[in-house]
A and B are shown apart, each in its own frame.
Chain A
Amino acid sequence: MELLLVIIIGLLYASGVYLILRRSMVKLLLGIMLLGNGTNILIFLLGKITKGSPPVINEAYKVFQDIYADPIPQALILTAIVISFALTSFAIVLLKRVYALVDSDDLDDLNTPEEEDL
């Protein structure tokens, strides 16, 4: 399981970096999303994958009796997913507007010389 996750993380990071280094805006966005997913799986992996019960101590005992699964990585991933959801939806709207204005998907075209201040 760990090995599989490691390979997946590597693939996600590699393809994310590859896509970010392209010139297309859409690929930039896809690359960012892949990197984000890779990071989430990395946190999941580093939180030590165990099959255990929730870390809630039974009322009858003073200490935890069983193998427990660490809940923190899941909380972190959930937060990171929510945040990347917000970022991605903002980025989609932004890139859509830029595409409508610049009429090009090429990141190198984003350098309109203009009297810029306002």
Chain B
Amino acid sequence: MKSAILQTATRYLLPILLLFSFFLLLRGHYYPGGGFVGGLVASIAFVLHSFANGTASTMKILRYKPLSLIPIGLAISTLSVVAPLLLGLPPMTGLWFEEPIPVIGMIGSALFFDLGVYLVVIGVVLTILFTIALEQ
């Protein structure tokens, strides 16, 4: 599908959607949002790009295979789950830094868990979509 309108729109939409997905990720702890939704929005941004410019060019701007995001994301999530064990607390207990950080707000292990989920979702969705798209 070649459409000048979609291609031009995507060029602006891709960064905005990525930024929005990151916003959703950070917002997720107290309000609707979170890693899964953020990851879906981010992957939809890339899907839109692949609709407009073809799957090959999307893979080019990603540089790395989306598959490699999965172990990184899983590792971040799992480490944030296991981290409380080092302090003698049960796994998955939320650990929080004392001071809030500007813009992002309070940082805790839950945020890292969500970050891991975010990466895994992008990796999984893009892997599936590229697999289906490249077969044709």
**C-alpha gap A111/B128 in the complex (Å):** 28
B22: interface (CB < 8 Å): no
Q: Is the CB of A93 within 8 A of B128?
A: yes
CB distance from A95 to the nearest CB of B (A): 12
**Smallest CB-CB separation from A56: which chain B residue?**
B30
Q: Which residues of B contact A89 (CB under 8 A)?
A: 128
**C-alpha gap A93/B36 in the complex (Å):** 22
Q: Which residues of A contact B124 (CB under 8 A)?
A: 86
In the complex, chain B residues 25-68 whose Cβ is within 8 Å of any chain A Cβ = 36
CB distance from A12 to the nearest CB of B (A): 23
Q: Which residues of B contact A (CB under 8 A)?
A: 36, 124, 128, 131-132, 135
**Smallest CB-CB separation from B131: which chain A residue?**
A93
**Smallest CB-CB separation from B31: which chain A residue?**
A54
Q: Is the CB of B36 within 8 A of A96?
A: no
**C-alpha gap A93/B132 in the complex (Å):** 7
**Smallest CB-CB separation from A82: which chain B residue?**
B36
Interface residues on A, range: under 10
**Smallest CB-CB separation from B36: which chain A residue?**
A82
Q: Which residues of B contact A96 (CB under 8 A)?
A: 132, 135
**Smallest CB-CB separation from B125: which chain A residue?**
A89
**C-alpha gap A96/B124 in the complex (Å):** 18
Q: Which residues of B contact A92 (CB under 8 A)?
A: 132
Q: Known contacts A86-B124, A89-B128; can you find 8 more A-B pairs with CB under 8 A?
A: A78-B36, A82-B36, A92-B132, A93-B128, A93-B131, A93-B132, A96-B132, A96-B135
In the complex, chain A residues 60-82 whose Cβ is within 8 Å of any chain B Cβ = 78, 82
**C-alpha gap A43/B128 in the complex (Å):** 29
**C-alpha gap A54/B46 in the complex (Å):** 34
Interface string of A75-112 (1 = CB under 8 A from B): 00010001000100100110010000000000000000
Q: Give the most central of A86, A89, A92: most B CB within 10 Å.
A: A89
Q: Which residues of A contact B132 (CB under 8 A)?
A: 92-93, 96
Q: Which residues of B contact A82 (CB under 8 A)?
A: 36
Pairs across A and B, CB under 8 Å, 10 listed:
A78-B36, A82-B36, A86-B124, A89-B128, A92-B132, A93-B128, A93-B131, A93-B132, A96-B132, A96-B135
Q: Which residues of A contact B128 (CB under 8 A)?
A: 89, 93
**C-alpha gap A82/B132 in the complex (Å):** 20
CB distance from B130 to the nearest CB of A (A): 12
